[in-house]
Structure 1
Amino acid sequence: MIELASHSMNLTCQKRCLLLGSVLLMSLGSSAHALGPAEVPETFGGDWSSRERLTGDWGGVRDEMAKKGVVLDANMLLLPGGVATGGSETDASFWGSVDYSLNLDTGKMGLWPGGFFKFEGISTFGNTLYHEAGAIIPTNMSSMMPGFNQPSSGLMAASYTQFLSEHAGVTMGKLNLVDLAPTEFYGNYNTQFLNAGLNLSMALGMVPISAYGGGVIGMPTKDIMLMALALDASGTPDENDISKAFDDGVTLLSGANIKIKPFGLVGHQGISGVWSNKTRFSLTQDPDNLARALLTERYPFLGNPGPILERILRERFPNLLIPVQPANRKENTWSVIYSFDQYFWQPEGDSKRGLGVFFSFGASDGNPNPIQYAYMMGIGGKGVFASRPHDNFGIGWARTQFSDDFVPLLRERLGLGLNHEDAIEMYYNAAITPWLHLSPHLQVINSALNKTLDDNGQLQNMDTAIEASLRLNILF
């Protein structure tokens, strides 16, 4: 490993490393927080209506800590909501999460330039609408971590990133892959869409949410961002034993993001690819292994469709719950994703506000990945109204196309559908104060499952679900 620092490092090197961090923030937006310096306001203080955080500057201590490279933050998400009609049943619930982080900047701490530590944990509480909505793709992205669809706490990130020059850096440790998702108009479930299918491409269904690993970052120019990561294929937020990392395989994730400005309007073009050599259950199974595959295999970004499908098996084909021969397996999987976002109107001289469009398309091998194709498109706006410069809104559509090999027995014998799932979501995120955001959300979900089990264990048709929720986002 290169020698990071010595007392002989001059001011020029420090400025270059700090410049790289700043350029990274401008190039990647919110996702840069996973790798580079934390975004720090000029001051945490001010009156209740203007301060950036609810708890203020802690008598000046918080501002001084930030100047010396220590940033503590907490973010609370409160989500009351309900399924008004359709789905598996109509009901209401309340869900919440708290994301807390510690960022350390070694340059500001007087140690060495270009080094950034990040530690992040999440705690969740309450109940979700996953079962009531009847969708396979979670309608609430925050319900997927650290534990799926249940209150839990977990370590999402414990990483270190070192920029070696203006054009290159390395990162390592436990990485939160969701932090890499935010784009101009989607990917941040705290302030943008809630539906998982409108936060990231479901073709990434085999990528761990949080895992040990590392990789390299390249910036040939200020407008081009390159990244390649090697991750523990079985990493989870609640797995913190680094000695188990890579025991059953590696997941390779690479990507490129290019900033463009046609007609002076900001846009981004991105492409990413995934390959993993972890041995997984093949979707092509003898029927006697079907239940075993459903209950054993987990798809990190897809959720967990196994239990409901297993219940249907138990009611209709109980003999298939006992495997009689070894299961078929696949030794690798891959997926590729292309995406873009593009403003078509921006106020003159302001590159952070305007109206734009976004699009994403992902494809996979379709086996063992149950998602064959994933589509996403929509319209987003930021600070469109001059009197509301910090508000944002969006309307989007996501389609998840399932592989033909995904439980064909249940699809053919019982007419469960499982061809594709559509979700439409619209929201308006109003900045009440810099530290308090309120946004109503409306989702229309046409589930891939067109039938569900009633209280008597009988199959019944499932109608299109309409889910309404109110998101309260508080920065502490």
Structure 2
Amino acid sequence: MKSKPLLHITGWILLSLAAQAPAQDSLLDRPQLGGNLLGLRDLLGAHGTELRLESTQFYYGDLAGSGPEKLELGGKTDVFFAMDGQKAGLWPGLFLNVHGEYRYGDASAAAGTLTPVNAAMLSPRDQDDVFGFTHVVLTQAFSESVLLSVGKFNTVDLADRTFLGGRGVEGFMNTSFVAPPIAGRTIPVSTLGAILSVLDEGKPLFNLGILDSRSSGTDSGLDGLDDEELTIIADYTFYTQWGGHTGTHTFSGSYSTLNAYSFDASDYLRPPTGGPIIAFQQSDSWQLTYLFEQYLCEWGDESKNGWGIFGMLAWSDGNPNPFEYSAVLGLGANGVCAARPHDRFGVGLFWNGVSRALKSTVRPLTRIDDEYGVELFYDAAVTPWLHFGADVQFVHPVLSGNDDAIFAGLRSRVIF
């Protein structure tokens, strides 16, 4: 079963190489392995469309702890499609963005952790070989600063930032760094919704949206919104220039009408269970988050190149959210130096405070503690389209009976 994805990837590589014209740029310098595909990319671009394919392989697992100590193979193939409606012959201000994901193998690891340590393997489903469209969104721009987006949203894509986020394929892998885990109970990885956005000179300023609190996963999700399963989200970002270097500060929050148990599993969370538990469903969940990213130095033509620090503080009602508070702090680099503009580096600490409600609910069966740990990664660009990375995580898992765990492994990514 695991050989099929490798054959698919090999086929894409051979097709891409076979489609090259001698006059195209060097194989080692082009941004995608396939280059211009004999002018196909230019042709698509002239009609307002763009197609991109990425394939990421993981060799990852638990090296120490209470889980099976082994490394396993797994991976993702991501397909991205974008269309500018005006260039495609429709009307001004219309945009379409699609993200399809094929997940295969197993490199997710567990060892009693509540937040998954390999976020990339959560979607479109956290097990089996499966494909799904996790992001299909139509956006209408009413002006240069006001946009309305509707459709099926991939919330991991929405959470992508400079040093945090990244889908787990090029930056941090632990879910605590990829998406705020304190919202993991009520905001699925892929779900139906609508978001109104306000921009300031092309940069995000304010977002207000409404999402379905139930995950659509590999389903279409286009079956309407239930007023008993809605999550309202909002965020505001302001920008600073401290010491001449860029900084962002984002305040966000959400409120949900979802009825849920604090120990329910969700797309982002794996609370421990082991038998019958006496508990009551809770609703009217809320969370507040503050997130900052501050560059310490910047260089090059690309505005995101440089080193910086980041942090996050979040609070919630603690029931049905399994966390009452969450904190992240770290150091990251996009382009570690002028000679390595495509390499990425990051080291970060996370602490997720398990709610008193969840602790008391599972106490008849087991004892759980706060979950905390540290992650370190380096992602090296052999070429702009071929990346190799290494990642290691030290995690104190939520199950108090489990040993502290060490997760580690390698990953590779090809941009076609």
Structure 2 Cα separation of the partners of residues 345 and 401 of structure 1: 32
The structure-2 alpha-carbon separation of the partners of 1:230 and 1:55, relative to structure 1 and needing over 3 Å to count, comes to same
The structure-2 alpha-carbon separation of the partners of 1:391 and 1:139, relative to structure 1 and needing over 3 Å to count, comes to same
* Match status 1:179 vs 2:157: yes
Structure 1 Cα separation of the partners of residues 362 and 303 of structure 2: 50
How well do the aligned residues superpose, as a CA RMSD in angstroms? 2.1
| Percent identity of paired positions between Structure 1 and Structure 2 | 28
Letter in 2 for 1:49: L
Would the aligned equivalents of 2:61 and 2:71 in 1 still touch at CA under 8 Å?
A: yes
Q: How does 1:348-387 map to 2 (within 5 A)?
A: 351-387=303-339
Structure 2 Cα separation of the partners of residues 106 and 362 of structure 1: 38
Paired residues, number: 392
* Residues 98-155 of structure 1: CA deviation (Å, up to 9, x unaligned): 1112211112223222211012211111112423x33121110012111124432222
Residue 13 of structure 2 is matched in structure 1 by: none
Would the aligned equivalents of 2:245 and 2:298 in 1 still touch at CA under 8 Å?
A: yes
Letter in 1 for 2:321: N
Larger C-alpha radius of gyration, 1 or 2?
A: 1
Residue 3 of structure 2 is matched in structure 1 by: none
Letter in 2 for 1:254: A
* Match status 1:130 vs 2:106: no
Q: How does 1:29-68 map to 2 (within 5 A)?
A: 46-68=25-47
* Match status 1:301 vs 2:265: no
TM-fit CA distance, 1:415: 5.5
SS in structure 2 at match of 1:79 = strand
Residue 253 of structure 1 is matched in structure 2 by: 233
Structure 1 Cα separation of the partners of residues 28 and 301 of structure 2: 27
Residue 373 of structure 2 is matched in structure 1 by: 423
Ranges in structure 2 where 5+ consecutive residues have no aligned partner: 1-22
Would the aligned equivalents of 2:153 and 2:193 in 1 still touch at CA under 8 Å?
A: yes
* Match status 1:157 vs 2:135: yes
Would the aligned equivalents of 1:223 and 1:259 in 2 still touch at CA under 8 Å?
A: no
TM-fit CA distance, 1:221: 5.0
Q: How does 1:259-274 map to 2 (within 5 A)?
A: 259-274=239-254
SS in structure 2 at match of 1:279 = coil
Instruction: Provide the TM-score with structure 1 as the length reference.
Output: 0.78
TM-fit CA distance, 1:360: 0.3
TM-fit CA distance, 1:365: 0.5
Structure 2 Cα separation of the partners of residues 424 and 209 of structure 1: 23
* Match status 1:470 vs 2:393: no
Would the aligned equivalents of 1:74 and 1:475 in 2 still touch at CA under 8 Å?
A: yes
Residue 203 of structure 1 is matched in structure 2 by: 182
TM-fit CA distance, 1:430: 0.7
The structure-2 alpha-carbon separation of the partners of 1:153 and 1:247, relative to structure 1 and needing over 3 Å to count, comes to farther
Q: 1:432 aligns with which of 366, 378, 382?
A: 382
* Residues 15-71 of structure 1: CA deviation (Å, up to 9, x unaligned): xxxxxxxxxxxxxxxxxxxxxxxxxxxxx9522101111222221112221232111
Would the aligned equivalents of 1:202 and 1:362 in 2 still touch at CA under 8 Å?
A: no
Residue 331 of structure 1 is matched in structure 2 by: 283
Would the aligned equivalents of 1:45 and 1:60 in 2 still touch at CA under 8 Å?
A: no
Residue 61 of structure 2 is matched in structure 1 by: 82
SS in structure 1 at match of 2:35 = coil
* Match status 1:169 vs 2:147: yes
Runs of 4+ in 1 over 3 A off after TM superposition: 220-224, 347-351
Residue 12 of structure 2 is matched in structure 1 by: none
Would the aligned equivalents of 2:227 and 2:257 in 1 still touch at CA under 8 Å?
A: no
* Match status 1:93 vs 2:72: yes
* Match status 1:276 vs 2:256: yes
Structure 2 Cα separation of the partners of residues 343 and 300 of structure 1: 31
Would the aligned equivalents of 2:133 and 2:218 in 1 still touch at CA under 8 Å?
A: yes
